[in-house]
Amino acid sequence: MLQIQGLSVETGGKEILRGINLFIGTGETHVLFGPNGSGKTTLLMAIMGFPRYKITRGRIIFKGHDITNASLDERARLGIGMSFQRPPVVRGVKMRDMVSACLGSRDDGTAVAQLAERLNMGDLMDRDVNYGFSGGEIKRSELLQLLVQEPDLTLLDEPESGVDLVNIALIGEMINELLQKNLKRNRTRAGLIITHTGHILDYVHASKGYVLIDGTVRCERDARECLDSIKKHGYEGCATCLK
């Protein structure tokens, strides 16, 4: 699904990522760990194709296409989607219109309405996008947009941050749906999740984990083991881990 080869990325004239290699197979979900400022969000933004994040070396291959030079919207239309941790407020644009935009040319208004209800988003559909939304509402809004967009590869930036214990189960359920975790086989979706706390792993199964430190991948192993090791040895331990 996604293959990243020797990727280096700079933003604001500063190199943030160096020589990243990563492979996510179809149907797989991987997680990214790492201390603040290690470059996790930068990696997601570079995969999504935000112009501020310049790829200086390496390639990104998605579903067999070299998308290194593809624009942000081209990548979205090819099937990459992203949930934002702090999305901007878009005054005047209603959630309803935003969600319709995610539908693209497909027409399935009824399903969208049902989905919105299930996500407790019914009341928010006539509000301006993200305007006055609580942390939990932003998460649900992002997931609703992605569920409608149906990307093949979903990039999630800290989906559990700012979500209370009651809502985290709902968020987890939505992510599982997004990543087709209910399907035992023939899954076509893949995911890459940034997590600080690892709480999301209690709800969403991920196969592989990476630890990003100072812009390079220092560790790559089973996601659970990765989390346990961080809990035990801290990121310093990861820095010396060669597994």
List of residues contacting other proteins (CB under 8 A): 48, 50-51, 71-73, 76-77, 81-82, 84, 87-88, 90-94, 97-98, 101-102, 104, 128, 145, 149
Beta-sheet pairing, 208-213 with 216-222: antiparallel
Please state, in angstroms and rounded to a whole number, the distance separating the CA atoms of residues 191 and 200: 13
CB 72 within 8 A of CB 51: yes
Which of 140, 139, 1, 150 minimizes the C-alpha distance to 81? 150
Judged by CB, which is closer to other proteins: 49, or 198?
A: 49
Please state, in angstroms and rounded to a whole number, the distance separating the CA atoms of residues 129 and 76: 19
Q: Minimum distance from CB of 84 to other proteins (Å)?
A: 7
Judged by CB, which is closer to other proteins: 88, or 132?
A: 88
Q: Minimum distance from CB of 48 to other proteins (Å)?
A: 6
Please state, in angstroms and rounded to a whole number, the distance separating the CA atoms of residues 42 and 183: 31
Judged by CB, which is closer to other proteins: 146, or 211?
A: 146
Task: Return left, alpha or beta for 102; rule: phi > 0 is left, psi -120 to 50 is alpha, else beta.
Answer: alpha
CA R_g for the chain: 18
Residue located via tokens 């941790």? 85
Judged by CB, which is closer to other proteins: 144, or 223?
A: 144
Q: Minimum distance from CB of 89 to other proteins (Å)?
A: 8
Q: Minimum distance from CB of 18 to other proteins (Å)?
A: 25
Judged by CB, which is closer to other proteins: 56, or 71?
A: 71
Residue located via tokens 């709480």? 199
Judged by CB, which is closer to other proteins: 41, or 145?
A: 145
CB 177 within 8 A of CB 140: no
Please state, in angstroms and rounded to a whole number, the distance separating the CA atoms of residues 147 and 3: 23
Please state, in angstroms and rounded to a whole number, the distance separating the CA atoms of residues 38 and 75: 24
Q: Minimum distance from CB of 37 to other proteins (Å)?
A: 20
Q: Minimum distance from CB of 101 to other proteins (Å)?
A: 6
Judged by CB, which is closer to other proteins: 87, or 237?
A: 87
Q: Minimum distance from CB of 137 to other proteins (Å)?
A: 16
CB 181 within 8 A of CB 3: no
